[in-house]
């Protein structure tokens, strides 16, 4: 067959009218994965047989006249941090090598029930700890726009799979910008929903008070459709919000008037902001003015503390969450190693063989970035430092949320750059953690505040690298964010495109 359409907006009507079958569409994307993924490495695993079986089931249901969802039969990729019963869930870590979950994540169940066809599990920074998809045991993913550059992280594989049209849609997770930053770097759209809007059941935790799953797509309309599938209350997740789900799909085409957009001066004026990124954001602001929006300068004075606050809270939660991975029950296990000396800090007491196994498993199973964050988190939670660091960070987190609440008292959404720079070269920052952490400068605030945030492409640099703009809104205003972002794409005549190297 000829190559089927790449974009979800083109595929959906062809599936609904049976002009193309889900098997034909799925096979087309599997062929692209076979051809392109050896150079991009967006996937950790994929199973063509399973995908084709799921596609065939949808085709049979459609042929039988069953009522199906609007995206039944649509292929999708998911980040390898969401549990699945029919594929390993590794979190990009050797310590979960060959781990097979006995249950599906709630989000995965909703995808299956809606008839989406899971192509495979995408690459990520180990346990979602990173900003370049370089720290996982599978090695780095590559940006389809320039294979020498990062696709962002930690959901880099998901963004790259969409940008290269190895999948029309994907699911990632966002703890400090891990959906929005890769979306910006890869020239696609990505949404971090309000904390609790999408169930975290079956999402292996990095930082429990910050993690949130969300969609990737080529257009804002894709995000709306996919959020409609995955949003909702789940009683198995104590942080899941028991509030009605909006009509995201219907809301994007509603006309809007008197929208007030706040421009974050601390972000626009940041000396570290790349001039080409700044120019693209200024052009986006001018476009919204032409659309009749009111532009208001706002200040988030505590945003300067966001990185420090995030990198105390997130590692603290990680040190607790990752303590369960010791090789005793599942995943990777290293034997007790008599050649390696393990000693207790107090008295240099020799460890038992069991404790040696624990230590050696973690030493061999975790990568350097994960170890760094575990040690940082354990330190900030330790006696004598808990109040000085962790409790102080929680207080500053409240101030950051208050800044957003104050801003939303006068504006509907806030607009700024998603990232300070465009995609940097692989290896450029991996050995400089502070510089890498600063890539999250504009994104971590939304996670600390628990608010929804969206990134969409708004241009390219002279080198052809994508630039992303970020919209942030009050809690549970995903409909408003999607509506405002979709209106921009309609106004500029946005058309998704693929990098020439993968067409």
> Is residue 331 pLDDT above 90, yes or no?
no
What tokens does 388 get?
Answer: 């000085």
Q: In the beta sheet, which residues pair with residue 190? A: 216, 455
Could you give the percent of the chain with pLDDT greater than 90?
Answer: 88
For residue 189, the model assigns a pLDDT of 98
pLDDT band at 328 (very low <50, low <70, confident <90, very high): confident
C-alpha distances in Å from residue 330, one per residue of 74, 324, 419: 33, 10, 37
Residue 85 lies in a domain: yes
Residue 126 lies in a domain: yes
Q: How many CA atoms lie within 13 A of 75 on its CB side?
A: 37
Query: Are 335 and 222 contained in the same domain?
Result: no
Residue 100 lies in a domain: yes
> Is residue 346 pLDDT above 80, yes or no?
no
Query: Are 160 and 239 contained in the same domain?
Result: yes
CATH number of residue 121's parent domain: 3.90.1300.10
Residue 169 lies in a domain: yes
For residue 31, the model assigns a pLDDT of 97
Torsion from C-alpha of 11, 17, 21, 22, nearest 10 degrees = 50
Nearest to 336 by CA among 358, 350, 363, 357: 357
The domain boundary, picked from 307, 342, 364, lies at 364
Query: Are 249 and 341 contained in the same domain?
Result: no
- Residue ranges making up the domain that contains 351: 328-364
Q: In the beta sheet, which residues pair with residue 377? A: none
What is the distance of C-alpha 85 from the center of its chain? 21
pLDDT band at 339 (very low <50, low <70, confident <90, very high): low
Query: Are 208 and 342 contained in the same domain?
Result: no
Residue 1 lies in a domain: no
Residue 371 lies in a domain: no
Give the burial class of 379: count Cβ atoms within 10 A of its Cβ; 0-12 exposed, 13-18 middle, 19 or more buried. middle
User: How many independent structural domains does the chain possess?
Assistant: 2
Mean pLDDT for the stretch of residues 209-224: 98
For residue 347, the model assigns a pLDDT of 45
Nearest to 24 by CA among 47, 3, 40, 50: 3
Query: Are 123 and 227 contained in the same domain?
Result: yes
Q: Give the model confidence (pLDDT) of 243-288 as tens digits.
A: 999 999 999 999 888 899 999 989 999 999 999 999 999 999 999 9
Catalytic machinery residues: 79, 154, 178
For residue 352, the model assigns a pLDDT of 81
Query: Are 358 and 237 contained in the same domain?
Result: no
Nearest to 399 by CA among 446, 435, 449: 449
Query: Are 251 and 342 contained in the same domain?
Result: no
Query: Are 131 and 249 contained in the same domain?
Result: yes
442 phi-psi bin (left φ>0, alpha ψ -120 to 50, beta other): alpha
pLDDT higher at 47 or 344: 47
Query: Are 482 and 334 contained in the same domain?
Result: no
Nearest to 29 by CA among 57, 53, 7: 7
Residue 313 lies in a domain: no
Query: Are 106 and 239 contained in the same domain?
Result: yes
> Is residue 56 pLDDT above 70, yes or no?
yes
Query: Are 166 and 82 contained in the same domain?
Result: yes
For residue 358, the model assigns a pLDDT of 85
Query: Are 76 and 158 contained in the same domain?
Result: yes
Q: In the beta sheet, which residues pair with residue 260? A: 294
- Give the pTM: 0.96
Could you give the percent of the chain with pLDDT greater than 70?
Answer: 97
Pairing assessment for the beta strands 170-174 and 453-460 based on DSSP bridges: unpaired
Nearest to 68 by CA among 101, 35, 21: 21
In which residue are the tokens 């987190």 written? Answer: 397
For residue 1, the model assigns a pLDDT of 46
Residue 285 lies in a domain: no
Mean pLDDT for the stretch of residues 11-19: 96
């Amino acid at each position: 067959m000829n190559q089927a359409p790449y974009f979800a907006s083109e595929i959906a009507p062809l599936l609904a009218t049976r002009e193309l079958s889900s098997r034909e569409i799925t096979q087309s994307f599997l062929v692209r994965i076979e051809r392109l993924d050896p150079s991009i490495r967006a996937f950790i695993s994929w199973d063509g047989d399973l995908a084709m079986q799921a596609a065939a089931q949808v085709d049979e249901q459609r042929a039988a006249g069953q009522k199906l969802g609007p995206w039944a039969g649509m292929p999708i990729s998911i980040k390898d941090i969401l549990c699945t019963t029919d594929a390993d869930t590794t979190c990009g870590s050797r310590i979960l090598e060959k781990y097979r979950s006995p249950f599906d994540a709630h989000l995965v169940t909703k995808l299956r029930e809606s008839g989406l066809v899971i192509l495979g599990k995408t690459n990520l920074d180990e346990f979602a700890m990173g900003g370049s998809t370089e720290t996982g045991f599978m090695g780095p993913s590559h940006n389809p726009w320039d294979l020498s550059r990062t696709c962002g992280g930690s959901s880099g594989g998901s963004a790259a799979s969409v940008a290269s049209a190895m999948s029309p849609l994907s699911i990632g997770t966002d703890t400090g910008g891990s959906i929005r930053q890769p979306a910006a770097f890869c020239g696609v759209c990505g949404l971090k929903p309000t904390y609790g809007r999408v169930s975290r059941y079956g999402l292996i935790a990095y930082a429990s008070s910050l993690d949130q799953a969300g969609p990737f797509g080529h257009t804002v309309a894709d995000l709306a459709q996919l959020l409609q599938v995955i949003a909702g209350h789940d009683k198995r997740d104590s942080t899941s919000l028991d509030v009605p789900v909006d009509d995201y799909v219907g809301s994007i085409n509603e006309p809007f008037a008197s929208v007030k957009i706040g421009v974050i001066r601390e972000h626009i004026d940041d000396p570290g902001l790349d001039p080409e990124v700044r120019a693209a954001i200024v052009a986006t602001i001018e476009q919204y003015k032409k659309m009749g929006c009111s532009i208001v300068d706002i200040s988030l004075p505590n945003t300067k503390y966001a990185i420090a606050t995030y990198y105390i809270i997130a590692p603290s939660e990680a040190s607790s969450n990752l303590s369960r991975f010791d090789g005793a029950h599942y995943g990777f296990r290293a034997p007790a190693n008599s050649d390696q000396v393990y000693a207790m800090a107090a008295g240099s007491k020799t460890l038992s063989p069991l404790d040696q196994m624990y230590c050696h498993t973690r030493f061999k199973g975790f990568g350097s970035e994960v170890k760094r964050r575990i040690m940082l988190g354990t330190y900030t939670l330790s006696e004598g430092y808990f109040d000085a660091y962790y409790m102080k960070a929680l207080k500053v987190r409240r101030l950051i949320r208050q800044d957003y609440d104050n801003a939303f008292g006068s504006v509907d959404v806030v607009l700024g750059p998603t990232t300070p720079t465009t995609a940097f070269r692989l290896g450029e920052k991996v050995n400089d953690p502070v510089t890498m952490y600063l890539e999250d400068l504009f994104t971590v605030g939304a996670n600390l505040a628990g608010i929804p945030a969206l990134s969409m492409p708004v241009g390219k640099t002279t080198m052809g690298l994508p630039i992303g703009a970020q919209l942030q809104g009050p809690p549970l205003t995903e409909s408003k964010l999607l509506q405002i972002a979709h209106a921009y794409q309609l106004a500029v005549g946005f058309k998704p495109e693929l990098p020439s190297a993968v067409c």
